[in-house]
Amino acid sequence: MSILSRLERGIRGAVESVFGRAFGGGLQPAEIRRRLMTVLTASEQPSEGGSRIANWFLVDLCPGDLEELGPSLPALTATLIEEIEERALRAGWDTSGPFDVEFRARPGFATGQFEVTPERRSGTPGFRVRVVSGPDQGKTFEVAGREVVIGRQPSAGVALTDGDASRNHAVLRSDGYRTTLQDLGSTNGTFVNGRRISKQEIRPGARIEVGRCVLEISRGRPVWDDGGENRV
């Protein structure tokens, strides 16, 4: 089995595990996942240099089903976004902004009834950067933008006090669903999962070493441009 096949199977299992804990015998987990993937593919439209797809999805559910999601909702949302990103990368689709999935209660919907509405939205991706060790341990930064600088510069998106970090140490860049980390010629270097890098694509959960600080990167909430949405 290929690495991509194993990855897809693992993501699918995670989705179904979260839904199974949340809904029990009501809404079937595979139904929502299949509908979301079908809507994603159907949203494809030709554009200059490739194809564009929807990047924001609203899932309307029966109020009772949404209530049953409870604390599983963040994990469920993150897992679905991860699968959407993997499919977009494999297909080479373009998007005008980051991906997001939102859930909403729809009065009048019966148990198990749901609807997925796709839109194309323009916005910037969000990141959550947590300092897990080092002089700035315990700090968390919620940032959004195509470029987020990490360093001692007070104006940096991730502003550290660690004297071993350069003022402009590294930068996170995103094109909507690919995120890269680039060293900005720092004195002590930038490391991802223990390896020194000059530029590298990173995924949620990556551990980044900047000076004496170890940072953990996770996905944050996107910031959408006003008036930037269009129903597909």
pLDDT tens digit at each of 232 positions of the chain: 433 444 445 445 555 555 444 455 466 667 888 999 999 999 998 877 678 899 999 999 999 888 887 778 888 888 888 888 888 888 888 776 789 999 999 999 998 899 999 999 888 888 899 999 999 999 999 998 889 999 999 999 999 999 999 999 999 998 766 789 999 999 999 999 999 999 999 887 899 999 999 999 988 888 888 654 455 5
Distances (CA, A) of 211 to 127, 168, 181, 188: 20, 12, 15, 6
The DSSP output letter for 27 is S
Could you give the CA distance from residue 119 to residue 231 in angstroms, rounded to a whole number? 4
Could you give the CA distance from residue 217 to residue 99 in angstroms, rounded to a whole number? 17
Output the CA torsion 74→79→85→88 (10° steps).
-130
Could you give the CA distance from residue 118 to residue 57 in angstroms, rounded to a whole number? 5
- The tokens of 197 are what? 């890098």
Could you give the CA distance from residue 172 to residue 220 in angstroms, rounded to a whole number? 13
- The tokens of 18 are what? 């979260």
Q: So what's the pLDDT on residue 115?
A: 96
- The tokens of 40 are what? 């994603």
Could you give the CA distance from residue 193 to residue 210 in angstroms, rounded to a whole number? 11
100-105 and 56-61: which strand pairing?
parallel
